[in-house]
Structure formats: structure tokens, C-alpha cells
Structure 1
């Protein structure tokens, strides 16, 4: 009897585990392009699954977590200005009871850097929140490392 109970428990946990997969509706990719011998542009792209969206960097307080970038300090480069983004979709969301700015499908953020060295690697992290019309996932943080050659 113990063997049957143990076998059934194992099957039950295996089946439940298959249904409880973690959703990851956003994938990130990175690239860099030198625009001169002392400057480069970093491209940070979010590819977003259908029916999901991430929020702009330019959000009011009291709403969803806005997308934010943190760059690790380095003597090899310095940031030029702020991270820029394309024009976002603006819409009232009843969940937050406010107008929000967000991106669907894909978005490319850009950051200019001044190079103090011919080749370097820019490291940092992006924090973001992803929602669809039924739910929001907890804010997530992804580390990145972008080679600049």
C-alpha cells in the first residue's frame, strides 16, 4: 500500500509541476555600435510575447513599476545623457486607475556612452514589470553584459 501511495504522489507532483511553469513573456537582447572612436550606442531590446506589455521609463508614481536601467560604474566608459526610448502607447488602465505608457511586441532602448578605452564591456541591470489584460507578474531584474569593440 505504501508503494502505491508513493507512486501516486510522485505522479501527482510531476503533473502539477508541468502545469506550474514560470511565465517569462519578455526576453532581452543586447548590441553595441561604435559611432566614432570615442563614442558608442548601446541597444537594449525587449521582445515581448503577444498580449503582454512592459512599461515606459517615464511613468508617474503610484502605478506599475517603470522600466529602469542601472549601469555598473567603470573607468572604461561614461554615460552620455539618459537612456532613450521610442514613443510609448498611452492608455488608461483600470488596474492602476491612471494613464500608463507601455510597449508591446518589441522595444529598443538606446544609451550613448563615451569610451575611455578602445574596447570595453558595459555591465548593468534592467528592472521591469510585465502585464497583460488579466494579470501582472512581479517586477523582474535582469543583468546584462554588452561588449563594445
Structure 2
């Protein structure tokens, strides 16, 4: 009897852990468009499931996990300015005792690059936090590789 209880308990935690890891309410897509022979804009789009939101790049310390872009250094391109974002929704959240800025449904971030070479690949990673009205998932990190042709 003890053996059956132990097996069932282990099975329960294994299945629950697998389902928890499957929850991924944000998907990312990327595209780059040349704006001239020597410049391009990289677009990083987050599609967010209904009821969820991700946070702006401009969340103050002490708040939720903000969205952070880290571009890999390259001789092929140079970043021009900071990664831009549209105007976020801003709301006071009691949990953090501060106004926080976030996006729902979808958001497109933009990064301008100066091209030192005709074709290249812009690489990097992004980190973001995602929450709904009941829970926040652990911060997620995604790598990207965006061809510029």
C-alpha cells in the first residue's frame, strides 16, 4: 500500500511539473527591414495570450520583471539609440506599491541598427516577466537571430 501511495505521489508531481512548464502565454516573432543601404530597423513582436501582460522596459526598481533586450556585439552592425516601445498601459499595482507599465495582446519593440556590411544577422537575447490577475510566471529568457538582407 505504501508503495502504491509513493508511486501515485511521484506521478502526480511529475505530471503537475510538466504542465507548469508548458504554460507559455507569450510568443515572439522577429523581422528586420532595411531603411537605407546603411540602416535597418529590427522589429521584435510579442504576441500575448488573453488575460496576460508583459512589462515595459521602463519599470522602476522594486517592481515586476521588466523587458530587457541585450544585443550581441558585432562588427557587422552598430545599435542606433535604445530599443523603442509604444506607449504602455500604466496602472497602480498594490503588490508593488507603485505605477507599473505593461502591454496586453501584442507589442512591437523596435531597434535601429547601422549596417557596416550589406547583409548581417542581428543576434541577442531578451528577458521578460509575464503575469495575469492571479499569478506571475518566473522570468523568461529568449534568444533571437534576425537576418538583415
RMSD of Structure 2 on Structure 1 (CA): 2.0
Mapping for residues 30-45 of structure 1, pairs under 5 Å: 30-45=30-45
Provide the rounded CA distance (Å) in 2 between the counterparts of 1:78 and 1:107: 24
Residue 37 of structure 2 is aligned to residue 53 of structure 1: no
Q: Does the residue aligned with 1:41 lie in a helix, a strand or coil? A: strand
Residue 86 of structure 2 is aligned to residue 86 of structure 1: yes
Structure 1, unaligned runs of 5 or more: none
Structure 2, unaligned runs of 5 or more: none
Deviating more after overlay: 75-84 vs 93-102: 93-102
Structure 1 residue 5: Cα displacement: 4.2
**Structure label with greater radius of gyration:** 1
Provide the rounded CA distance (Å) in 1 between the counterparts of 2:45 and 2:96: 26
Q: Does the residue aligned with 1:31 lie in a helix, a strand or coil? A: strand
Partner of 1:131: 131
Structure 1 residue 9: Cα displacement: 3.4
Partner of 2:7: 9
Structure 1 residue 92: Cα displacement: 0.8
Mapping for residues 99-118 of structure 1, pairs under 5 Å: 99-118=99-118
The alignment covers a number of residue pairs equal to 146
Provide the rounded CA distance (Å) in 1 between the counterparts of 2:25 and 2:95: 19
Partner of 2:144: 144
Deviations 1:76-115 (A, max 9, x none): 0000000000000000111211110000000000000000
Provide the rounded CA distance (Å) in 2 between the counterparts of 1:17 and 1:9: 11
